[in-house]
Amino acid sequence: MSRFDLSQYETVEERHARALAEHLDLRCVIVNHTTAEDRAVNTWVVEARVYKDAGDQAADIPKATEWAFEIDGAGMANKTSALENACTSALGRALRWAFAGSKGPSRSEMEKVQRQENRDWIAEADSIDDVKQLRLLWAQAKLAGADKKILKQLEDRARGLADSEGGDE
């Protein structure tokens, strides 16, 4: 169960519509900064730039910029839409910084928190038979603030799998 009520958070769509109503020539640009190294660990990295109008965009004077990342398969939505989720997160935060009056984090950001809180790391580990994927899962769990006991169980599973494959840790 989450520690917060998602209905108390504004969606990125609501935030964007509000900004468009105030700035009819609003420009939002998403830049994919994902590297080959990022993709090797199933990660997407994007930047959102918000410009009040075409003139600011032409002069490259954003009202706000923000970054976000997502990991393929980290939660249900990211099984198919990790890049899209990263774009939405970055845009929601950039809109927040660009225009006062938001309710803090967007609903999509809080949904990301909720996904991590409700994630069953051990069940995911039990379905993985690849040491590299288990190490990636461990890194995701550590980033998400998983309990030390869970991290230890993930380490033990990876070590056991590496030993059974005759590989080294």
**167 CB burial (10 A radius; 0-12, 13-18, 19+):** exposed
Task: Print burial letters for 113-136: b (CB count within 10 Å at least 16), e (below 16).
Answer: ebbbeebebeebbeebeebebbbb
**What is the per-residue pLDDT for 133?**
80
pLDDT digits 0-9 by tens, 20-74: 998 999 999 999 999 999 999 889 999 999 999 999 999 999 999 999 998 888 6
CA distances, 154 to each of 40, 161, 166 (Å): 20, 11, 18
Residue 136 near residue 41, CB atoms below 8 Å: yes
**Confidence band of 13 (pLDDT split at 50, 70, 90):** confident
Residue 169, pLDDT > 60, answer no
- The residue-averaged pLDDT of 148-162 equals 84
CA proximity to 154, closest of 164, 143, 128 = 128
Higher per-residue pLDDT: 62 or 169: 62
**What is the per-residue pLDDT for 34?**
95
- The residue-averaged pLDDT of 130-143 equals 79
Partners of residue 47 on adjacent β-strands? 31, 67
H/E stretch holding 85: helix 78-98
CA proximity to 109, closest of 122, 95, 90, 124 = 90
CA proximity to 1, closest of 134, 118, 156, 131 = 118
pLDDT digits 0-9 by tens, 75-124: 667 778 889 989 998 998 899 888 865 556 655 666 666 666 667 778 87
- Best-predicted range by mean pLDDT (1-5, 58-62, 116-120, 132-136): 58-62
